[in-house]
């Protein structure tokens, strides 16, 4: 029921993932609304099932209060399906704070991980870079950031296929002495860890393709993510304005249109369908509010892939017991 | 002597500012190198004078050590000209840490301001927004951020011509409860101040033109600035790659070239010539390492404009005594 265009985009995305990738899916939300939306897509795909949830949590609701009051909300009902082992993962384009809270409460944390993180895959010149946290844990201790590094490495292996992901710490200079107090302490901890830590990286190196995992606290990560989104919007707006300003540019814009759409696709994180909720005991994907059907279908595929991967085996301590 | 293309770009920029804007200029650095560069520009413009400095501080040198050892460096010699009242301001495209350190030591701080900040003017849809700090003071107290707000307001008035600049606090949500501990405390202080505080703003609102001054600590500001630079680079690189990939796009690229150059100019902060060193007692501009002649000339013009404006009258307390 979440997202700017819900349940239209979520239902269309689920139908697509069920048809194209044969993934069995529970559609959780207002049954009547979901039935009506589903009817627009012809015969119901095999393995697609509606699970009724009486309430929905709005984008502007305070997560804490909403979770307490609406125990029958679609987010909570979907999370319970994961908790009970009926679903292998959960996708939502709704209130990210409520999804995070419900996941922590219903699924619990992975062993040894204290705080959740939201991870996104940024595009780079070559493939992608996992950046976390972009907004779940705002005030972080250095130990939390080290946990995020392990989680990021697990994603870089499972999603990007990196065998020995390079880990960087977001800071304002390469030298270990550069950064705020929190970053300086974290640098020392990461240096002593068995991770492939390449040191501090600056903002401009984020997308150069020379690092696979970038660690930061939820405050820094969120302002970087949103600022970059704002600038991409500004640049595309400026380009649009230029193209419409003269006949010559209008022609160029028409010729260039397929290339611009390709670029937009490369810049969009719709490829993975959204952000990954890291640190909780389950595969949870938080889609962008403006997710379209393609993004929702990709999020469902990403959740399935993630659920097949044992993240906990990448965490400190656990590796030795298993391997 | 600072910058990637020094002293060529700095001398060319100084000649341009002297000729086009009749600004008297001291060129500070290795006299022989500067004479040789100047000779390339025909007759020496009136009011352009060379002041010899035996040493230069490199981009990679540690500012603290370099300032202690090289008391005859071009940065220190230039700063002394300001201190002695011989120059009204100082422009450097060199080591920003050394410029900041030399300014604090030689010029001192403005009354009531404890820490320096580096301010940049980001482009927006309408005009520009002053963002500070982008790297001078990494670990900030809430009181420092309030000082930066006053300094930013002074710049928005003097450089952008805003009569009642709107001040925003960079955070991860609009509600006063959103942000890290430092931001939440700063929010309360700004709310109680006489400034035109419009509340928290998110990264994506940075360039929307609805705020004139954005306050953040030097860590957050620096990673935002550098990340945005990295993404602009990535997008321009992607566009270049697309344009070269097919004949059709090559034609479009040729048609669109003047528009792309206009856009690049709008995105570039060469308009103001660089960043402003806020909080010190003098007009100091720190140019980008890759400053070209136009950026250097603009920085010189900005320094002159700033030196005519009494920043200290905008600071808390001072206003009443004067006004």
**B22 contacts B109 by C-beta, under 8 angstroms:** no
What integer pLDDT is reported at residue A233 of this predicted model? 84
* Beta strands at A167-170 and A197-201: parallel, antiparallel or unpaired: parallel
pLDDT tens for each residue of chain B, 323 residues long: 988 888 999 999 999 999 999 999 999 999 999 999 999 999 999 899 999 999 999 888 888 888 888 889 999 999 999 999 999 999 999 999 999 999 999 999 999 999 999 999 988 877 889 999 999 999 999 999 999 999 999 999 988 889 999 999 999 988 888 889 999 999 999 999 999 999 999 998 988 889 999 999 999 999 999 998 888 888 888 888 888 989 999 999 999 888 888 887 777 655 667 899 999 999 999 988 888 898 899 999 999 999 998 888 888 865 444 43
Q: List CB contacts of B72: < 8 A, sequence separation 6 or more.
A: B53, B54, B55
Give the pLDDT confidence of A38-97 residue by residue, as tens digits. 999 999 998 999 999 999 998 888 888 888 889 899 999 999 999 999 999 999 999 999
Judged by CB atoms closer than 8 Å, whether chains meet at A138 and B230 is answered as no
What integer pLDDT is reported at residue B318 of this predicted model? 56
CATH code: domain A1-112+279-323 is: 3.40.718.10
**By C-alpha distance, which of A291, A247, A245 is closest to A96?**
A291
Sign for the pseudo-dihedral over CA of A272, A275, A277, A282: negative
Question: A194 to each of A146, A154, A315, how far by Cα in Å?
Answer: 11, 14, 11
Phi, psi torsion values for A282, nearest 5 degrees: 165, 160
- Is residue A60 within 8 angstroms of chain B, CB to CB? no
In angstroms, rounded to a whole number, what is the distance separating the alpha carbons of residues B142 and B187? 9
In angstroms, rounded to a whole number, what is the distance separating the alpha carbons of residues A300 and A306? 10
Nearest CA distance, A182 vs chain B (angstrom): 10
In angstroms, rounded to a whole number, what is the distance separating the alpha carbons of residues A211 and A206? 7
pLDDT at A271 > cutoff 50: yes
Write a three-state SS string for chain A: CCCCCCCHHHHHHHHHHHHHHCCCEEEEECHHHHHHHHHCCCCCCCCEEEEECCECCCCCCCHHHHHHHCCCEHHHHHHHHHHCCCCCEEEECCCHHHHHHHHHHHHCECCCCCCCEEEEEEECCCCEEEEECCCCCCCCCHHHHHHHHHHHHHHHHHHHCCCCCCEEEECCCCCCCCCCHHHHHHHHHHHCCCCCEEEEECHHHCCCCCCCEEECCHHHHHHHHHHHHHHHHHHHHHHHHHHHHCHHHHHHHHHHHHHHHHHHHHHCHHHCCCEEEECECCEEEECCCCCCHHHHHHHHHHHHHHHCCCHHHHCCCHHHHHC
The CATH architecture annotation of domain B1-109+279-323 reads: 3-Layer(aba) Sandwich (3.40)
Query: Considering only residues 170 to 199 of chain B, which have any Cβ-Cβ distance to chain A shorter than 8 Å?
Result: 170-172, 179-181, 183
Residues of chain B positioned with their CB less than 8 A from the CB of A117 = none
Q: Which of A59, A141, A175, A226 to mutate to test the interface with B (most CBs of B within 10 A)?
A: A226
Token readout for B71 is 């008391």
Question: B267 to each of A167, B202, B260, how far by Cα in Å?
Answer: 31, 20, 10
Count Cβ atoms below 10 Å from residue A219 Cβ, excluding itself: 26
Q: Which residue has the higher pLDDT, A271 or A308?
A: A308
Residue of chain A with shortest Cα separation from B205: A230
Nearest CA distance, A194 vs chain B (angstrom): 26
Give the pLDDT confidence of B75-113 residue by residue, as tens digits. 999 999 999 999 999 999 999 999 999 999 999 999 999
In angstroms, rounded to a whole number, what is the distance separating the alpha carbons of residues B161 and B212? 10
What integer pLDDT is reported at residue B271 of this predicted model? 60
**A260 contacts A269 by C-beta, under 8 angstroms:** no
Token readout for B122 is 């980001």
Residues of chain B positioned with their CB less than 8 A from the CB of A124 = 234
What is the arithmetic mean of pLDDT over A286-295? 87
- Is residue A226 within 8 angstroms of chain B, CB to CB? yes
Q: Which of B168, B204, B257 to mutate to test the interface with A (most CBs of A within 10 A)?
A: B204
Judged by CB atoms closer than 8 Å, whether chains meet at B223 and A256 is answered as no
Residues of chain B positioned with their CB less than 8 A from the CB of A229 = 203-204
Query: Considering only residues 63 to 122 of chain A, which have any Cβ-Cβ distance to chain B shorter than 8 Å?
Result: none
What integer pLDDT is reported at residue A323 of this predicted model? 36
In angstroms, rounded to a whole number, what is the distance separating the alpha carbons of residues A223 and A135? 9
Give the pLDDT confidence of A86-133 residue by residue, as tens digits. 999 999 999 999 999 999 999 999 999 999 999 999 888 778 899 999
Nearest CA distance, A175 vs chain B (angstrom): 11
Give the pLDDT confidence of A135-169 residue by residue, as tens digits. 999 999 999 999 999 999 999 998 888 999 999 99
Sketch the domain layout of chain B as residue ranges. 1-109+279-323
What integer pLDDT is reported at residue B269 of this predicted model? 57
Residues of chain A positioned with their CB less than 8 A from the CB of B269 = none
Residue of chain A with shortest Cα separation from B233: A204
Nearest CA distance, B6 vs chain A (angstrom): 23
Token readout for A117 is 């993180």
Judged by CB atoms closer than 8 Å, whether chains meet at A229 and B267 is answered as no
Pick from B123, B204, B225: which is nearest to A229 by CB? B204
In angstroms, rounded to a whole number, what is the distance separating the alpha carbons of residues A123 and A114? 28
Count chain A–chain B contacts defined by CB atoms under 8 A: 176
Query: Considering only residues 119 to 158 of chain A, which have any Cβ-Cβ distance to chain B shorter than 8 Å?
Result: 123-125, 135, 138-139
Cα B143 to its chain centre, rounded Å, is 22
- Enter the pTM of the model: 0.88
Residue of chain B with shortest Cα separation from A246: B259
Residues of chain B positioned with their CB less than 8 A from the CB of A65 = none
Candidate from A237-241, A262-266, A307-311, B238-242 with smallest mean pLDDT:
A262-266
Write a three-state SS string for chain B: CCCCCCCHHHHHHHHHHHHHHCCCEEEEECHHHHHHHHHCCCCCCCCEEEEECCECCCCCCCHHHHHHHCCCEHHHHHHHHHHCCCCCEEEECCCHHHHHHHHHHHHCECCCCCCCEEEEEEECCCCEEEEECCCCCCCCCHHHHHHHHHHHHHHHHHHHCCCCCCEEEECCCCCCCCCCHHHHHHHHHHHCCCCCEEEEECHHHCCCCCCCEEECCHHHHHHHHHHHHHHHHHHHHHHHHHHHHCHHHHHHHHHHHHHHHHHHHHHCHHHCCCEEEECECCEEEECCCCCCHHHHHHHHHHHHHHHCCCHHHHCCCHHHHHC
Residue B285: half-sphere exposure toward Cβ, Cα within 13 Å: 29
Q: What angle is formed at CA B265 by the lines to CA B263 and CA B267, rounded to 5 degrees?
A: 70
Judged by CB atoms closer than 8 Å, whether chains meet at B204 and A263 is answered as no
Residues of chain B positioned with their CB less than 8 A from the CB of A123 = 234
Question: B286 to each of B99, B214, B299, how far by Cα in Å?
Answer: 8, 19, 8
Judged by CB atoms closer than 8 Å, whether chains meet at B231 and A226 is answered as no
What integer pLDDT is reported at residue B262 of this predicted model? 82
Give the pLDDT confidence of A211-255 residue by residue, as tens digits. 999 999 999 999 999 998 888 888 888 888 888 989 999 999 999
Q: List CB contacts of A245: < 8 A, sequence separation 6 or more.
A: B259
Judged by CB atoms closer than 8 Å, whether chains meet at A262 and B242 is answered as yes
What integer pLDDT is reported at residue A318 of this predicted model? 56
What integer pLDDT is reported at residue A320 of this predicted model? 46
In angstroms, rounded to a whole number, what is the distance separating the alpha carbons of residues A123 and A136? 21
pLDDT bucket at A261, cuts 50 / 70 / 90: confident
Inter-helix orientation angle B218-245/B247-267, to 10°: 160
Query: Considering only residues 266 to 285 of chain B, which have any Cβ-Cβ distance to chain A shorter than 8 Å?
Result: 266-267
């Amino acid at each position: 029921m979440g997202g700017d265009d819900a349940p239209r985009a979520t239902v269309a995305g689920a139908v697509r993932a069920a048809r194209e990738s044969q993934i069995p899916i529970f559609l959780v939300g207002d049954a009547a609304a979901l039935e009506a939306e589903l009817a627009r897509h012809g015969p119901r795909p095999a393995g697609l099932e509606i699970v009724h949830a009486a309430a929905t949590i709005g984008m502007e609701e305070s997560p804490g209060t909403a979770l307490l009051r609406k125990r029958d909300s679609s987010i909570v009902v979907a999370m319970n399906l994961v908790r009970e082992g009926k679903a292998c993962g959960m996708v939502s384009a709704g209130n990210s704070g409520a999804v995070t809270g419900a996941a922590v409460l219903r699924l619990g944390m992975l062993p040894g991980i204290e705080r959740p993180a939201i991870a996104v895959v940024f595009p780079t010149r070559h493939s992608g870079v996992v950046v976390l946290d972009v907004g779940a844990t705002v005030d972080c201790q250095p130990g939390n950031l080290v946990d995020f590094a392990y989680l990021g490495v697990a994603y870089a292996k499972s999603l990007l296929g990196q065998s020995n992901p390079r880990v960087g710490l977001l800071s304002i200079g390469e030298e270990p002495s550069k950064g705020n107090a929190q970053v300086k302490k974290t640098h020392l901890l990461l240096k002593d860890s068995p991770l492939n830590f390449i040191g501090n990286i600056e903002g401009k190196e984020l997308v150069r393709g020379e690092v696979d995992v970038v660690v930061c606290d939820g405050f820094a990560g969120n302002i970087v993510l949103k600022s970059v989104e704002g600038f991409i919007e500004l640049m595309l707006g400026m380009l649009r304005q230029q193209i419409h300003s003269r006949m010559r540019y209008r022609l160029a814009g028409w010729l260039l249109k397929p290339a611009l759409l390709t670029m937009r696709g490369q810049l969009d994180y719709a490829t993975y369908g959204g952000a990954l909720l890291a640190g909780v005991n389950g595969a949870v994907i938080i889609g962008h509010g403006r997710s379209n059907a393609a993004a929702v279908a990709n999020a469902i595929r990403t959740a399935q892939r993630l659920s097949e991967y044992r993240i906990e085996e990448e965490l400190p301590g656990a590796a030795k017991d298993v391997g």
